[in-house]
Amino acid sequence: MNQENLDTNWKTKLLLIGAASGALLGIGTAYLLARSAENNQGGPPEISTKDLLSTGIAIIGVIRGIASLGDGSK
């Protein structure tokens, strides 16, 4: 196996692990949201624009933190 195949191989594994992890976290989060809304309201959750924006900003912060792990700086 040459160096180019090794480079592609670890990148592919990393992308697949990231995609699977993201899917599992997304499903788990959706399940918890649905369960909480059903227990409290008996129906679909009412999510405000403010809640969506604050959650989106928090998610962007987490993504930036994860992306900075690959920088190599401490």
37 touches 45 (CB < 8 A): yes
Task: Quickly state the pLDDT bin for 1 (edges 50, 70, 90).
Answer: low
- State pLDDT tens for residues 31-73: 999 999 999 888 888 889 999 999 999 999 999 999 998 887 6
Q: What pTM was computed for the model? A: 0.69
Residue 43, CB half-sphere, CA atoms under 13 Å: how many? Answer: 2
| Dihedral angle of Cα 30, 35, 37, 43, to the nearest 10 degrees | 100
